[in-house]
Amino acid sequence: MYTPPIQDQKFIIEYLIGFDTIARQAKIDNQNQESIDKELVWSILEEAGKFASNILAPLNHSGDKQNSIITEEGDVRTPDGFREAYKAMCDAGWTTLEAKSEWGGQQMPMSISAAVCEMWHSANMSFALCHLLSQGQIYALQKSGSEEQKKKYLPNLVSGKWTGTMNLTEPQAGTDLSKIRTKAVRVGNHYKISGQKIYITYGEHDMAENIIHLVLARTPDAPEGIKGISLFIVPKILLKDDGSLDRPNDVRCISIEKKLGIKGSPTAVLQYGDNGGAIGYLVGEENKGLEIMFSMMNHARFNVGLQGLAIAERAYQQAVVYAETRVQGTPLAQETGVPINRHPDVLRLLSVMRSEIDAMRALIFTGANAMDIADNTLSEVIADEQKRASVLIPIIKGWITELSVFHCSNGLQVHGGMGFIEETGAAQYLRDSRILPIYEGTTAIQANDLIFRKTIRDEGRTIRNLLDEIETEIALVDECYSVPMSNAIAEVRSTLEILLSKANDSRYLAANGVNWLMQLGYLCGGWMAVKSADRAMKNAKDLSDDFVNSKKICAEIYLQHSLPHVGTFLNVINHEDNSILNMNVNWLHRQTA
């Protein structure tokens, strides 16, 4: 059972971000802000919630049990019901939400599409991954494809008739893309692609009539390293001049990975060029492929952070339902025969989950709005807006996905022994969540981005601007909230100065990058929790008493149980002699005697 958190989403959109702010960023068919109104947005959320809970959620557990499978012929079959659900998704127009109107999209702001996507991924993350990859490809082609490529591929990608993939990783080239070996040899107006790609989400499946692969590869004379990588469109089925389907391209799925989680989603190993070379078409210029991929990386990483929120919410909801129906033991100072949600420690687990997930959601929507502003703002201030958005992305991706694993584990803990049994479904959320701190750049990669590019490179200016923004906002809230937040901001400012003083010690910075990311994450979570409580109280006449009181108590729980992590990370980072770097790697091995 999945309950879409629409009340919370509406609250964030209307009272934390401000609907007028979102409307100003909307560029629907190049019309004015009246083109998007509350009635339309609330209707979108309500219908998306119905689709998520009625169509997608029932397929989640069965998809995990059944898995996607590969036939002897190399065809991939998704779990029962996935094909029908995807058709229903396309027929209802849900695949068109974010794309530009000229290609058949609705051009909704990310703040709105994020709310819809949260529900998709909470309901069935394995299923929703298919459209997530298509979204990334649509964004890349809208930004970097030629006009001919846009006309040829975007309408069918936007409608969902075709789906898209990203092909980066190879067996010998994971995070280090400089080691890519896939080859691209020019032949007339196209290229012949040969090589192998792994970890390709929905690289082969049975839900769409064609799959469009974006493939990183090297041309024969390309420079060494990452500077020599180009990006190519490689369709599974080639197209005729009129855009209709022609013949299969020289690309085949040779296996589907057996995984810990997201088992309903086929993760393919793709082989290109066994029969002369797969036909591919250059996107942008030769040797500029990585730049194009990086231009869409913020969106991809944001969406993985969104997945973290979504899976944590689903685990939380299931834990709440289980705890209110499971009768076990006699809670302290309670009557016998009451549900386990009356046990103080179970109440602690659920309450901290609720307060942190609410903060995570508010940060996700704030980040989405920041990205909208960065995309649509005036040219004279766009650099500052882009920096503000870009510094939030690694925090959203890193902090939220790390917390998602923690909360999915606690959701299982609430179930006790029954959580360890697959029948309840609690274990699936923990298994599914574990990929999130890994793909689209591990937490360490997000931390390196944050500490080297977004902190040290500009001598802390962007971070200080973020801290100033938080400080300005919390100055307007009740003292019971502002005092602990002010103390936490001071602790982060101290950490920043320590890191800046170590600007020339890259190993020290790298060893503390994740600590820095998590410290900023907990601070931003506090910002969101306090802001939510303040806005709820100030708009109490429009909200129910229960809703307002829940926001107040969630803020108090966050300040007591979560915000102290900010000081802990300051203590960890504030050491001249970093003990981690004194560990000899040979000492990591156990000795028999």
**Pick from 426, 441, 456: which residue ends a domain?**
441
- Cα–Cα dist 217/196, whole Å: 10
Q: Are residues 321 and 407 in the same domain?
A: yes
Residue 528, domain CATH: 1.20.140
Find the mean pLDDT for residues 519-529. 98
Say yes or no: 239 and 351 in one domain.
Answer: no
pLDDT cut 90: percent of the chain above it: 87
Residue 125 and residue 113 in one domain: yes
DSSP output for 113-148: HHHHHHHHHHHHHHHHHHHHHHHHHHHHHHHHS-HH
| Structural domain contains residue 329 | yes
- pLDDT above 70 coverage of the chain, percent: 97
Q: How many residues does the chain have?
A: 593
Residue 582 has pLDDT above 70, yes or no: yes
pLDDT, tens digit (0-9, with 9 covering 90-100), for 288-343: 998 898 877 888 999 999 999 999 999 999 999 999 999 888 777 777 778 999 99
Cβ atoms within 10 Å, residue 141:
25
Closest CA to 132 of 86, 81, 83, 176: 86
- Is residue 381 very low, low, confident or very high in pLDDT (cuts 50, 70, 90)? low
pLDDT at 31: 44
Residues 96 and 51 occupy one common structural domain = yes
Interatomic CA distance for residues 525 and 527, integer angstroms: 5
Q: For residue 509, which of 566, 583, 454 has the smallest C-alpha distance?
A: 454
Distance (Å, rounded) from C-alpha 353 to C-alpha 348? 8
| Helix, strand, or coil (residue 435) | coil
Domain end among 408, 441, 474: 441
Confidence at residue 32, expressed as pLDDT on a 0 to 100 scale: 43
Query: Are residue 205 and residue 303 in the same domain, yes or no?
Result: no
CATH of the domain at 23: 1.10.540.10
What value does the mean pLDDT take over residues 331-358? 90
Straight-line distance from the first to the last Cα atom of the chain, in angstroms, rounded to the nearest whole number:
54
Whether residue 364 is contained in a domain is answered as yes
Task: Provide the mean pLDDT of the chain.
Answer: 94
Q: Which CATH number is 261's domain given?
A: 2.40.110.20
Q: Which pLDDT band, with edges at 50, 70 and 90, does 378 fall under? A: low
Asked whether residue 244 is domain-assigned, the answer is yes
Given this model, what pLDDT does residue 1 score? 86
Q: How many domains does the chain have?
A: 4
264 and 326 in a single domain? The answer is no
Residue 312 lies in a domain: yes
Query: 323 and 249, same structural domain?
Result: no
Q: Which of 263, 286, 309 is the last residue before a domain boundary?
A: 286
Could you list the residue range(s) of the whole structural domain that residue 554 is in? 443-582
Phi and psi dihedrals of 279, rounded to 5? -80, 125
pLDDT digits (tens, 9 = 90+) for 88-133: 999 999 999 999 999 999 999 999 999 999 999 999 999 999 999 9
Both 426 and 449 in a single domain?
no
Kindly give, in sequence order, each residue whose CB lies less than 8 Å from that of residue 75, ignoring residues fewer than 6 positions away. 204, 206, 253
In a domain, 589, yes or no: no
Indicate whether 436 and 467 sit together in one domain.
no
Residues 203 and 142 placed together within one structural domain of the fold: no
- Which residue, 26, 5, 8, is CA-closest to 111? 26
Query: Which amino acid is present at 82?
Result: F
Q: Is the pLDDT of residue 30 over 80?
A: no
pLDDT (tens digit per residue) in 262-284? 999 999 999 999 999 999 999 99
Q: What is the pLDDT of residues 41-68, one digit of tens each?
A: 999 999 999 999 999 999 999 999 999 9
Q: Which of 465, 481, 495, 569 is nearest to 527 (CA)?
A: 481
In terms of DSSP H, where are the helices of 343-453? 344-376, 382-415, 426-433, 443-448
Local structure of 196: helix, strand or coil: strand
What is the structure's pLDDT at 386?
Answer: 85
Asked whether residue 588 is assigned to any structural domain, the reply reads: no
Is pLDDT of 376 > 90?
A: no
Q: Is the pTM of this model over 0.85?
A: yes
The confidence band for 497, taking pLDDT boundaries of 50, 70 and 90, is very high
User: Is 591 part of a structural domain of the chain?
Assistant: no
| Whether residue 436 is found in the same domain as residue 325 | yes
| Mean pLDDT to the nearest integer, 384-401 | 93
Residue 28 reports pLDDT greater than 50? no
110 shares its domain with 25: yes
pLDDT band at 23 (very low <50, low <70, confident <90, very high): confident
User: Residue 331 domain-assigned?
Assistant: yes
Interval 415-419 mean pLDDT = 96
Task: Identify the helix (H) or strand (E) that includes residue 195.
Answer: strand 190-201
Q: What would the two tokens of residue 271 be?
A: 């082989």
Q: Return the half-sphere exposure (C-beta side, CA atoms, 13 A cut-off) of residue 93.
A: 9
> How confident is the model at residue 354, as a pLDDT?
98
- Binned at pLDDT 50, 70 and 90, residue 27 comes out as low
Residue 29 pLDDT = 39
Residue positions annotated with a catalytic role: 440
